Amino acid sequence: MDKSANSSMDVEPLTKALVDKIQQRLAAKGIADPAMVGIHTGGAWIAEKLHQALALKTPLGKLDISFYRDDFTRAGINPQVKPSTLPMNIDDKHILLVDDVLYTGRTIRAAMNELFDYGRPASITLVVLIDRNGRELPIQPDIVGAHMDLAPHEHIKLQGPAPLRLIRSNTE
Amino acid sequence: MKRDNIQLNDQGRLRHFLTIEGLSRALLTEILDTAESLTSVTEQSVKKVPLLRGRIVVNLFFEASTRTRTTFELAAKRLSADVLNIHIAGSATSKGETLLDMLANLEAMHCDMFVVRHDRSGAAHFIARHVAPHVSVINAGDGSHAHPTQAMLDMFTIRRLKGDFYPLTVAIVGDIMHSRVARSQIHALTTLGVNEVRVIGPRTLIPRDIESLGVHPYYDMKSGLQDVDVVIMLRLQNERMSGAMLPSESEYYSRYGLTEEKLSLAKPDAIVMHPGPINRGVEIASSVADGPRSVILQQVTHGIAVRMAVMSMALGNPPLRQEGTP
């Protein structure tokens, strides 16, 4: 898969665009103190950048959704699973949930299930760097860095943590 | 090698957990890492993850146990499994049903995992050889053979408090002869590569060929505890020994009981462990068991995460089904 990688893209302009869009949305909704949660691994990298740029007061949370995946009985447990860390009480918080690539929607379904095992947030806003086609669940992003229309054999993946680069590859 | 080890499936992943012996350092480390991740479940307001939702775990206890059975039950429930507790003394085996008939009946009820505690060595292996392909068996202690989840929760406790294994000297004190816990600990410690494992106890309670396991025997506490990082005390198992092995409890205490005075021979930051239940004033002084260097209750807490890890790993590695969608 790696050897057929055929293009690489800088994420800096996309994260800049995300920061602007998040600020506009927070202002429009009158949300003063949101909490940001990034999904391991790529979402957490993006969330670190956004959290810093937005100077959010609530510390950044990170979710590893391995224990909430819907393919456990097929794929088993991932030995590289990281503990989730949510250093805040999420009850009644406005959550900015961040992931790198939104594809089938299954990761977001698992992440929301896990979040609700920690408490009852006031709202969840879904922020993604890339929104690609191929949804299998009725889950849509609120804030998007870029949309991409890819063929089923094409893949987009965030590589990091430094530098962060989007790698587009073709497995056909 | 993979083929011979009944504990591993054809991809070399954990299928049953019966003994530490024969498992690789990588696999033991994977258990510890998975347990570490699962500790965050305790911080959730809903202390559950859906990994084993819809699975049925049967605690099959042929021998009394409170702590082990309770932590297995709690671990299974935190993974969202349904749990059946079966006490054999009060079950149909006392009506003449054979063990294999009973297992067949439980399998017919679509149980997915048997957690087995038995007073005969090899009982869990026997059951693992006879279960259906989708069923996993976890050994919760068999005779004087093995108690692998206890050993792994001890390793988890040591790693959390001491970091790396390689510089450590660990002493296991007491009745090594009858202890399934000691045997599993020795295999785990040597596999994980600690600097030195010592066993300390009276000659009558230390097997003569113990050095073949890669440990050093000591017959008195003074030399054995010198510069030790971890002291693991074992319970004196009166129910497993005949009278001639031991003079008296009070003499045992004076020679091998862990008092503050004897503990001062170990390193100043040494930790004290015990698999429980403790016999105060027999193998350990109350002031040590309740003292600042005792991590006995942390061991109990860690037992939940370690058992969650083992259960989810064993049930998460099903036999390869026909190649379908990825």
Q: Based on the fold, state whether residues B62 and B184 are members of the same structural domain.
A: no
Q: Based on the fold, state whether residues B254 and B292 are members of the same structural domain.
A: yes
Residues B292, B139: Cα–Cα separation, whole Å? 32
Digit-coded pLDDT (tens) for B190-225: 999 999 999 999 999 999 999 999 999 999 999 999
Q: Based on the fold, state whether residues B137 and B170 are members of the same structural domain.
A: no
State how far residue B227 is from chain A, nearest Cα, in angstroms: 34
Q: Which residues contact A19 (CB under 8 A, 6 or more apart)?
A: A50, A53, A54
Band of pLDDT at residue B92, cut at 50, 70 and 90:
low
Digit-coded pLDDT (tens) for B100-131: 888 899 899 999 999 999 989 999 999 999 99
pLDDT at site A8: 86
Whether the CB-CB separation of B255 and B236 falls below 8 Å is answered with no
Say whether pLDDT at A35 is over 80.
yes
- The Cβ of residue B158 has, within 10 Å, a number of other Cβ atoms equal to 28
Please name every residue paired with A132 in a beta bridge, in sequence order, or none if there are none: A148
Say whether pLDDT at B176 is over 80.
yes
Best B28, B29, B51 member to test A by mutation, with max A CBs in 10 Å, is: B51
State how far residue A58 is from chain B, nearest Cα, in angstroms: 18
Q: Where do the domains of chain A lie?
A: 6-73+81-170
Residues B305, B154: Cα–Cα separation, whole Å? 12
Q: Based on the fold, state whether residues B183 and B72 are members of the same structural domain.
A: no
- Give the CA diameter of chain B: 66
Would you put residue B163 in left (φ > 0), alpha (ψ -120 to 50) or beta?
A: left
Say whether pLDDT at B240 is over 50.
yes
Q: How high is the ipTM of this complex? A: 0.75
> Starting from the edge strand earliest in sequence, which strands make up the sheet with B216-218, in order?
B216-218, B196-200, B169-173, B230-233, B271-273
State how far residue B130 is from chain A, nearest Cα, in angstroms: 23
Q: Based on the fold, state whether residues B82 and B138 are members of the same structural domain.
A: yes
pTM comes to: 0.87
pLDDT at site B298: 95
Q: Based on the fold, state whether residues B152 and B224 are members of the same structural domain.
A: yes
In a domain, B322, yes or no: no
Return the CATH number at B221.
3.40.50.1370
Token look-up 């996309």 returns: A14
Q: Based on the fold, state whether residues B37 and B124 are members of the same structural domain.
A: yes
Q: Based on the fold, state whether residues B84 and B186 are members of the same structural domain.
A: no
pLDDT at site B324: 38
- Name the domain count of chain B: 2
Look at A72-86, B34-48, B132-146 and tell me which has the smallest mean pLDDT. A72-86
SS3 category, B103: helix
pLDDT at site B34: 93
Q: Are strands A35-39 and A61-63 parallel, antiparallel or unpaired?
A: parallel
Q: Based on the fold, state whether residues B52 and B139 are members of the same structural domain.
A: yes
What b/e sequence results for B182-199 when a residue is b if at least 16 CB atoms lie within 10 Å of its CB, and e otherwise?
bbbbbbbbbbbebebbbb
CB spacing of B34 vs A73 below 8 angstroms: no
Band of pLDDT at residue B321, cut at 50, 70 and 90:
very low
Residues B292, A172: Cα–Cα separation, whole Å? 62
Q: Which helix (H) or strand (E) holds B171?
A: strand B169-173
Distances in Å between the Cα of A170 and the Cα atoms of A1, A102, A113, A134, A155 are: 7, 18, 32, 16, 6
With vertex at residue B148, the alpha carbon angle to CA B146 and CA B151, rounded to the nearest 5 degrees, is 110
Architecture of domain A6-73+81-170: 3-Layer(aba) Sandwich (3.40)
Please name every residue paired with A157 in a beta bridge, in sequence order, or none if there are none: A167
Residue type, B265: L
Look at A16-30, B26-40, B232-246 and tell me which has the smallest mean pLDDT. B232-246
Q: Which of B39, B49, B312 sits opposite A68 (nearest CB)?
A: B49
The fraction of chain B above a pLDDT of 70, given in percent, is: 91
- Boundaries of domain holding B131: 25-146+303-314
Best A37, A64, A72, A81 member to test B by mutation, with max B CBs in 10 Å, is: A72
Digit-coded pLDDT (tens) for B298-314: 999 999 999 999 999 99
Q: Based on the fold, state whether residues B130 and B169 are members of the same structural domain.
A: no
Q: Based on the fold, state whether residues B117 and B228 are members of the same structural domain.
A: no
